[in-house]
Structure formats: structure tokens, C-alpha cells
Amino acid sequence: MIPEVDSYWLINAHVPVVLLENNNFIPQTREGLCLVDLEIVGGKIQQIILASQRVALNFPRIDLEKRIVFPGFVDIHTHLDKGHIWERSPNLEGTFEEALIRVQEDSQQYWQAEDVYQRMEFGIKCSYAHGTMAIRTHIDSLGKQGEISLEVFKTLQQEWADRLTLQAVSLVSLDYYQTPYGIALADRIAEIGGILGGVAYMNPALDAQLAQVFLLAQERGLNLDFHADENGDPDSICLQKIAQTALEYQFSGSIICGHCCSLAVQPEEVVAKTLDLVKSANIGIVSLPMCNLYLQDRRSSQTPYWRGVTKVHELKQQGIAVAFASDNCRDPFYGFGDHDIKEVLTQAVRIAHLDTPYSDWCGSVTKTAADLMGLPQRGRIGVGLKADLIIFQARYFSELLSRPQADRIVLHQGQSIDTTLPKYQDLDECILFKSA
């Protein structure tokens, strides 16, 4: 559909106005869509005009007939190193605790460099084929495994640098940073330009653990990314503690907290205090709707009634940045998934009632996520930016969110890419996978 030429026009494109950078366009539909023409020259967007103001156009033109166009997706929270181990290490109980056990056993038996590379690359290929242009992945970083997996990440980061942006976050329990090994890990993360991260659990030493993590990050100029309150315990206030520590240390770097599920089951006064602190500390929140729907409120032979997601509406109403992301994919923490951010958006809309109106929630998987990752050139459509775009067959949001849109067209620097997904059989080529 897209000509293999250096210059062309995409006309009659329905683009969410909130994703148009530096513009004065006014939404033309109740859903916030605007009908525009995009001029693509040399892999970048040269010009954006209202379709109604079109005059004679130079170059070939492709009539999109109101198809929705998004910028490339930004997947801000993934676990590529864990992905696609379900067949050999299933979580048959479906609980968080069982997932921890299964992943630990799998890593001890299989996670050599070849195995980790094979599965991480598979996930990246899926993401790219679906239209993702930036990925942040948390990497299990304890001891020798951290050395192996971070080295694999560095290799993949270099191999894919011309196609998408990859960021790595260290993932350990926070007490690890109080050991010499944790300090060495912080140094390693600084060497590779990564993000310092970890899992915050309520415990008597949490304040001291957070103080150490913030100190290590400050000394090395690192940003922070935490897993916080991934449970349904109303007494779990790690997010509040993280915000308090950030304010005490006057931390100037970026801070992101993922999950924050317990916020949804806490008393209103606790929620209000936490939101005030989070806003003051300028912390971004990432909700993982599919994984949390899968794990939270799971009890044997009982029907769940809580959706697992955090208070995304209340957070956003307070001016706090909220993004959605894939999280785990076909591993013990989530038995499904295909690294498709469009599916994440669809499920988030349904689970968290983001519709009517859709407002600017489409930015939660594009522009907002890009800003939280420090990527101002990603997740938006604007003059001078790369023509990294996704063209859907859908013309309106109801159409977009009703079908998988598997026939989408993905453009990288203005040219169509091969959107064929890798075959699951490709994973069988990994010797360690075959031995399962």
C-alpha cells in the first residue's frame, strides 16, 4: 500500500489531536479525531495540513479514507527476560506466589545466555511487528544471572538500535542494594546507561532500603523505576513511602512506579495522602492491566470481583502521568500476551472504563509513556519527527477497539516494515528450550 519512494502524501488520515505535536488543530469528531494529510519526505514528516485545506499536492498520494493513524507505540514496562517460558514452567495455580517459585526454578535451570537471548529477541520481534518503537524492560539482576542477562540485553540493544529504542531496568528486591553486590549492580547499570530499579515490599527496613536506593541513584545520576504494591493489601503503602523518600532527598531524576494495585483498595484518606505525595514528587505511574487482572484477587474456586488495576482515573485527575504497558508475556506471571500494545490499550479501555469519552488515553501507550522514558521524539506525530507510524483499518475508536487490527500497516521512517510475527516454533531452535 505504501510506495517505496522517498516522498509521498498520506491523505485523509484520522489522527487523535492529542497525538499531534505543536499544532493548533481542533478535533472534528466527538472522539477527538482530526482529518489530516501527512507529507512524508526522507523518512520524516515534512508537513501536516487539514484535509479540508488541501490544494494541489506534489508527490504520490495514498488515500487512507479516514483510517486511524497512531505514532509508533511505546511499551514502558516489560519483562523480556522472563517471556515465553510458560510451556516449560507453567503457573498452574495462577497465583503471584507460585509465579515467583516457577520463575526462580526456570532461571536456575535454563537461563544461560543463549536461552535468554532467544526469548528476548522473540519478544522484541513481536513488539516491532505490532508497531512498537521503544521498549523498557526490567531485567532480573541478582548475582551471576544479572551479569548474563544484562550482557544479552546490551547485545540486543546494539543490534536493534536502528529500529527501536531499548532501555533496561535492574530488578532485585531493595535489600540487595544494601550489600556490596547491590552497589556493584548500581555501577553496572550506570555503565550501560540503564535505570536503577527494584521491588518494594512492606517490611521494617523499607525506609532504610529506599534511602540507600535513592542515594545510589543520586550519586550515579540514574533514574528510578520501582515495582510497588503489586497486591490487594490495604496496608501496603510502598508508593507513599517512595514518594516521601523522593521528597526528602529532593530527587531530581525521573521516578516511575509500576502496578500500585493496593491503592485501589485503600481508604479514601490514605489514597488522598498518597496522591498528594506522588504529585509533589513528580512520580509517573504505570498500570499493567492484563497481568494484574490475571493475578490479583485470585483464589481457588472463587470468582474474582476486583479487576486488579490501580486508581488510574483519580491519578490522572490529579495531574499525575499515567501509562499502560504489556508487563509479562507467556510466563508464570501472565500466561498470555503477544507484546501488542494495541491489545493493552483495548483491554485497559475495557477494564478501567476509559471510554466515553476516550479523552487523551491513547497517549498512555504513546506520548505519555515516551515522556516518562525521556524520549521526546517518540510517541507523537509532528513536523520534523520520524515517520514511525501505525495505520489501522479502523476509522473510529469503536472500530479500533473491537478488532485485533492484525492487518495494520507499520511504517519505520516512512517505509512499510514486514509485520509477519515470528513463529512459536522459532523458540524450539534454542537448545535449552528443547531440553525442557
Question: 51 with 142, same domain?
Answer: no
Residue 431 pLDDT grade (very low, low, confident, very high; cuts 50, 70, 90):
low
Strand, helix or coil at 195? Answer: strand
Q: Judge whether 166 and 137 are in contact, CB under 8 Å.
A: yes
Q: 386 and 245: one domain?
A: no
pLDDT greater than 70 at residue 436: no
In a domain, 322, yes or no: yes
Tell me: do 152 and 219 sit in the same domain: yes
Q: How far apart are CA 328 and CA 83, in angstroms?
A: 7
1 within domain boundaries: no
For the stretch 157-194, pLDDT in tens is 999 999 999 999 999 999 999 999 999 999 999 999 99
Residue 23 sits in the same domain as residue 85: no
The answer to whether position 21 is within a domain reads yes
Write down the pTM of the prediction.
0.96
Are 84 and 67 part of one and the same domain?
A: no
Instruction: For cell 540487595, name the residue.
Output: 176
82 domain-assigned: yes
Q: Is the pLDDT of residue 35 over 90?
A: yes
Q: What number is the average pLDDT over the span 366-378?
A: 98
Kindly indicate the confidence band of residue 246, based on its pLDDT and cuts at 50, 70 and 90: very high
Same domain, yes or no, for 143 and 61? no
Distance (Å, whole) CA 69 – CA 202 = 43
With respect to residue 424, please indicate whether it lies within any of the assigned structural domains: no
pLDDT over 60 (residue 434) = no
Regarding whether 251 and 134 lie in a shared domain, the answer is: yes
Considering its fold, how many domains does the chain have in total?
Answer: 2
Clarify whether residues 353 and 279 are in a common domain.
Answer: yes
The alpha carbon dihedral of 253, 254, 259, 265 has a sign of: positive
Task: Look at strands 132-140 and 73-78 and give their pairing.
Answer: parallel
Residue 406 and residue 362 share a domain = no
Distance between CA atoms of 239 and 227, rounded to whole angstroms?
9
- Report the C-alpha gap between 214 and 241 in whole angstroms: 12
140 contact partners, CB below 8 Å, separation of at least 6:
81, 82, 103, 107, 146, 149, 171, 172
- The CATH number covering residue 205 comes to 3.20.20.140
Lowest mean pLDDT among 242-251, 278-287, 301-310, 399-408: 301-310
Q: What is the CATH number of the domain that holds 401?
A: 2.30.40.10
Rounded average pLDDT over 260-285: 98
Provide the grid cell at 115. 536461552
d(CA 25, CA 34): 7
Question: Which of these, 80, 73, 292, lies nearest to 167 by C-alpha position?
Answer: 80
- With beta carbons less than 8 A apart as the criterion, state whether 285 and 257 touch: yes
Whether residue 427 is contained in a domain is answered as no
Residue 204: pLDDT band with limits 50, 70, 90: very high
Do 217 and 120 belong together in one domain?
yes
Do residues 385 and 361 lie in contact, with contact meaning Cβ atoms separated by under 8 Å?
Answer: no
DSSP structure string for 109-145: HH-SHHHHHHHHHHHHHHHHHHTEEEEEEEEE-SHHH
Give the model's pLDDT for residue 47: 95
Per the structure, the complete domain to which residue 38 belongs is given by 7-71+380-416
Cell readout for 408 is: 495494520
pLDDT at 359: 87
On average, the pLDDT of the chain sits at 95
Closest-CA residue to 123 (of 151, 174, 91, 82): 82
62: β partners:
10
Residue 237, SS3 per DSSP = coil
Please state, for a pLDDT cut of 90, what percent of the chain lies above it. 91
State the catalytic residues.
Answer: 230
CA–CA dist 423, 139 (Å, integer): 24
The reply to whether 349 falls in a domain is: yes
Q: Is residue 421 part of a domain?
A: no
127, 183: one domain? yes
Q: What pLDDT is stored for residue 432 in this prediction?
A: 54
Section 228-235 average pLDDT: 97
11 and 99, same domain (yes or no): no
Instruction: Indicate the DSSP class of residue 331.
Output: B
Whether 149 shows a pLDDT value over 60: the answer reads: yes
